Amino acid sequence: MDWITIDACRRCTDLPTEAEIRGWVRTRRDSKGGFSFLEVNDGTCLGNLQVVVPGELENYASEVQKLTAGCSVIIRGQLLESPAKGQATELHAESVQVTGWCDGETYPLQKKRHSFEKLREWSHLRARTNTLGAVMRVRNRLSQSIHRFFDEAGFFCLHTPIVTASDCEGAGEMFRVTTLNLDKLAGSNRPLDAGQDFFGKPTHLTVSGQLEGETYASAMSKIYTFGPTFRAENSNTSRHLAEFWMVEPEAAFYDLSDNMQLAERFLKRIFSDCLDSCAEDMAFFDERIEKGKLAQLQDVVDKPFEHMTYTDAVDRLTSSDESFEYPVKWGIDLQAEHEKYLTQLVDGPLILTDYPASIKPFYMRVSDDGKTVAAMDVLVPGVGEIIGGSQREERLDVLQRRMAEAGLDEQEYWWYVDLRRYGSVPHAGFGLGLERAVQYVTGMTNIRDVIPFPRTPGNADF
Amino acid sequence: MDWITIDACRRCTDLPTEAEIRGWVRTRRDSKGGFSFLEVNDGTCLGNLQVVVPGELENYASEVQKLTAGCSVIIRGQLLESPAKGQATELHAESVQVTGWCDGETYPLQKKRHSFEKLREWSHLRARTNTLGAVMRVRNRLSQSIHRFFDEAGFFCLHTPIVTASDCEGAGEMFRVTTLNLDKLAGSNRPLDAGQDFFGKPTHLTVSGQLEGETYASAMSKIYTFGPTFRAENSNTSRHLAEFWMVEPEAAFYDLSDNMQLAERFLKRIFSDCLDSCAEDMAFFDERIEKGKLAQLQDVVDKPFEHMTYTDAVDRLTSSDESFEYPVKWGIDLQAEHEKYLTQLVDGPLILTDYPASIKPFYMRVSDDGKTVAAMDVLVPGVGEIIGGSQREERLDVLQRRMAEAGLDEQEYWWYVDLRRYGSVPHAGFGLGLERAVQYVTGMTNIRDVIPFPRTPGNADF
């Protein structure tokens, strides 16, 4: 007999049936009637399966009564309708095989509630807790949904390079990648010769796959990347990771309006998939992590996104009665407090467009007014910016001028500039930080708790 | 009217219909009858759409007759059944808008045939060629299919860290990741202080997500990773990349037999998806790149994989009449020539199992004979090893002994060893290099031609 998941056991309606489960004990309770209750979880769902173990089993006293949280077991028996409240089914054990014991004295995940901070010290075990397990299932669902959305919409999945000799933004704080022996280098007392390095020149970890993505969009029409990106910012906040996953679609012949529609359809789809496929986990987040989350997400799925230009947003902010820490005037980069005010104003997601050229990168398309670019940010309540994107500058002369203004060497980007020489097309794209999306969906406040093993200054454990 | 892809135009059966396409001109041919034929491609399929442009168009002489390979165009017209052979439909243009010219004098992709080596110098443009476009569509299909297979099989997508302080194999040649200023370091004449680095200790790019994957399999039962991995080997061959994408499933309660079944189902599924969904591209590879490819892949999909132990394989090799460059005896690592002989012997994929412990990493499960481990390699004709995997050592004492033998510091792997302390379970998994799989499916001989931007010693361009 093959075993079945605990998720399947809990949903099973064809009862009674024989079943075998494999998982980890969460709790054991011995009844005075001479039998025991085990709560067993295998990570496939939030809930446990209740297992009733009769005292008659051969290893009842020798093993079953010694089971503690964390022990792994294989249990066979009859899956029945449960008379108890809050669960549809329960398993009546006919055999319990212990595959791995768990020392209750040293096992970190005891019954007591641990802080998320503490759990991070046990990142190799924390997915065994209710909250982190639920986060990882939602993260999985978002990831699967992202691939499906783009596949169905005719976007090709593209793996852009992680190690790169160019810098997308022209100004990112980047990690250097090297095979030079740093210990030897420190003692060498000779100038560095980057030509001796593995790639023959200085290389870094990518901050974005966009520029490379544009080259493939100029050949295959619609592509998206979904991979790790890196920032070497020394920011020890609950909003920053040094390593995170980013989704970046890029489409030829898209203008800003197409791009906004794509972003809206995309977010609605991935949130809707989470609500549908992770209903139990989502109910948990709604109840335990952020009240009202379900209604908020359903709203995003149902309501059309509001649009507002940056200029209008600045007008709204300056004419409001709110007192902001950062004063608002046209030309500033909007702060979290401003974004929060605006999302509250429209009571839902908001797409801001047409930002000042001076605060946006060289590759964004300059508008006819000469002052703004065809940029867009999608803001959501609570999290703020979740998507940033733009129509790209497809005109060779304008791009060259913008690069010069930004102090970039056109020679270094020869291949990027080539796209405007050889069959240039209007095109647009955006970036979504996966972790921001998981935070928004789950309501988790610290970004370190929505990625399996967070990398932050001083932390590269596991 | 929205535009539609050229793939959709070529498959359209509801004719005649109005259509707009957007893409790049591949060729132009002017007819003496006062009209022109354009072949237009948008990367959504191998074939072009033939467009008939009447001389009556306003911009016929001023623009249409100046179109060259690479120009981008937006064309509207009537999509009709084509009287010509080799194409089902053709577009009769009612308007041709040129969105981007392409200087025929400098555009690298002229009509003449270029070597794959030459095309690599234009990696930003090479997806516009038939072969590389087809490769990238197949690569996309494999990637999508990989996610679907594991999602449907109940595996959770897991993003394991790219930057890591541990070394999965204990012996990989790794890239160092640092924010230290190497120029300053070279002149410092002081010993390196890794504590001053971003993560407070030396970090590297991952060679595998397996160990971290095992931690999550021990909580969520079945996971898979699909991400970039890195090798700093100075190998300038057609089989090595410094950066490549790897798929690594890991399942709790799986033994070697479960693992073998999973690998077989997995390969059959992803190959079958390519045959079904990329039929035109696959026919192209069969005809132009490797004759017989279609039949070979269909065979893999249809036939059960052969199984053979390493020991049996060595017997077969030593008793064969073949003269091998590398002599065979029990205990050696099999070479490409040996694998080739074995796959020819069984005329299809072959799973070799039970390798000598001495040539396999510490984490593989030691068999009862004490000499072998529960390892498996899946070999396919032409490519050799495409999958490597094993059942993992779940016994604490045996794992500790193996780590000591391998000279590894158990303290550094405390979290990995913890898995055997707290609810240890039998578990197994494998790794598939995506690029090897793309090579096998397409027949492309150089691995640099199956990844968008290859990274090899001395090459980190684009």
List the domain boundaries for chain A. Answer: 6-100, 127-449
Nearest CA in chain A to B219: A128
Residue B396, chain A, CB below 8 Å: the answer is: no
Sign, CA torsion A336/A342/A347/A351: negative
Q: Which of A137, A162, A452 is opposite residue B243, by nearest beta carbon? A: A162
Nearest CA in chain A to B161: A453
Domain B127-449 in CATH 3.30.930.10? The answer is yes
Q: Is cis: bond before A191, omega within 30 of 0?
A: no
Residues of A in contact with B397 (CB under 8 A): none
Using CA atoms, how far apart are residues B416 and B258, in angstroms rounded to an integer?
22
Residues of A in contact with B462 (CB under 8 A): 161, 164, 166, 212, 215, 415
For residue B190, the model assigns a pLDDT of 86
Q: What is the distance in angstroms between the Cα of B29 and the nearest Cα belonging to chain A?
A: 18
For the domain made up of B6-100, the CATH class stated in words is: mainly beta
Residues of A in contact with B63 (CB under 8 A): none
pLDDT tens for A239-271 read 999 999 999 999 999 999 999 999 999 999 999
Nearest CA in chain A to B203: A460
Q: Which residues contact A394 (CB under 8 A, 6 or more apart)?
A: A365, A420, A424, A425, A426, A427, B99, B100
A455 vs B163: CB contact, 8 Å cut-off?
yes
B219 vs A127: CB contact, 8 Å cut-off?
yes
Q: What is the distance in angstroms between the Cα of A347 and the nearest Cα belonging to chain B?
A: 32
Which of B28, B107, B119, B124 has the highest number of chain A CBs within 10 A, making it the mutation to test binding with A? Answer: B124
Q: What is the distance in angstroms between the Cα of A109 and the nearest Cα belonging to chain B?
A: 10
Task: Tell me whether domains A6-100 and A127-449 share a fold.
Answer: no
Mean pLDDT throughout B281-292?
98
**Burial track A345-373 (b if 16+ CB lie within 10 A, e otherwise):** bbebbbbbbbbbbeebbbbbbbbeeeebb
Give the ranges where A303-433 is alpha helix by DSSP (H): 310-318, 336-346, 396-405, 414-418
- Kind and range of the H or E element at A388? strand A384-391
Ordered DSSP codes for B439-457: HHHH--S-GGGSSSS--BT
- Surface of A (341-380) touching B: CB under 8 A: none
For residue A112, the model assigns a pLDDT of 80
Residues of A in contact with B421 (CB under 8 A): 102-103, 106-107
Nearest CA in chain B to A414: B462
For residue A84, the model assigns a pLDDT of 87
pLDDT tens for A290-301 read 999 999 999 999
pLDDT tens for A26-69 read 999 999 999 999 999 999 999 999 999 999 999 999 999 999 99
Which of B48, B110, B156, B448 has the highest number of chain A CBs within 10 A, making it the mutation to test binding with A? Answer: B156
Using CA atoms, how far apart are residues B30 and A145, in angstroms rounded to an integer?
47
Q: What is the distance in angstroms between the Cα of B262 and the nearest Cα belonging to chain A?
A: 14
For residue B1, the model assigns a pLDDT of 64
Residues of B in contact with A243 (CB under 8 A): 161-163
Residues of B in contact with A426 (CB under 8 A): 99
A452 vs B107: CB contact, 8 Å cut-off?
no
Residue A10, chain B, CB below 8 Å: the answer is: no
Residue A70, chain B, CB below 8 Å: the answer is: yes
A65 and A86 in contact (C-beta within 8 Å)?
Answer: no
CA A278 to mean position of chain CA atoms: 15
Q: Does the pLDDT of residue A169 top 60, yes or no?
A: no
For residue A167, the model assigns a pLDDT of 64
Q: Is cis: bond before A16, omega within 30 of 0?
A: yes
pLDDT tens for A105-139 read 999 998 788 999 999 999 999 999 999 999 999 99
Q: Does the pLDDT of residue A152 top 60, yes or no?
A: yes
Considering just the CA atoms, what is the radius of gyration of chain B in Å? 27
A227 forms beta bridges with A246
Q: Does the pLDDT of residue A171 top 60, yes or no?
A: no
Mean pLDDT throughout B344-350?
93
B422 vs A452: CB contact, 8 Å cut-off?
no
Residue A106, chain B, CB below 8 Å: the answer is: yes
Q: B152: how many CB neighbours lie within 10 A of its CB?
A: 10
Q: What is the distance in angstroms between the Cα of A363 and the nearest Cα belonging to chain B?
A: 16
Token digits of residue B70: 């690479």
Interface predicted TM-score (ipTM) of this complex, two decimals: 0.97
Residue B215, chain A, CB below 8 Å: the answer is: yes
B200 vs A458: CB contact, 8 Å cut-off?
yes
B46 and B34 in contact (C-beta within 8 Å)?
Answer: no
- In three-state secondary structure terms, A372 is strand
Q: What is the distance in angstroms between the Cα of A453 and the nearest Cα belonging to chain B?
A: 6
- Surface of A (161-180) touching B: CB under 8 A: 161-166, 173, 175-180
Q: Which of A212, A227, A459 is opposite residue B453, by nearest beta carbon? A: A212
- Surface of A (127-146) touching B: CB under 8 A: 127-128, 133, 136-137, 139-140, 143-144
Cα-based distances in Å from A114 to A119, A122, A130, A451, A460: 6, 11, 11, 18, 22
Residue A392, chain B, CB below 8 Å: the answer is: no
A163 vs B22: CB contact, 8 Å cut-off?
no
- Surface of B (317-346) touching A: CB under 8 A: none
Mean pLDDT throughout A329-358?
95
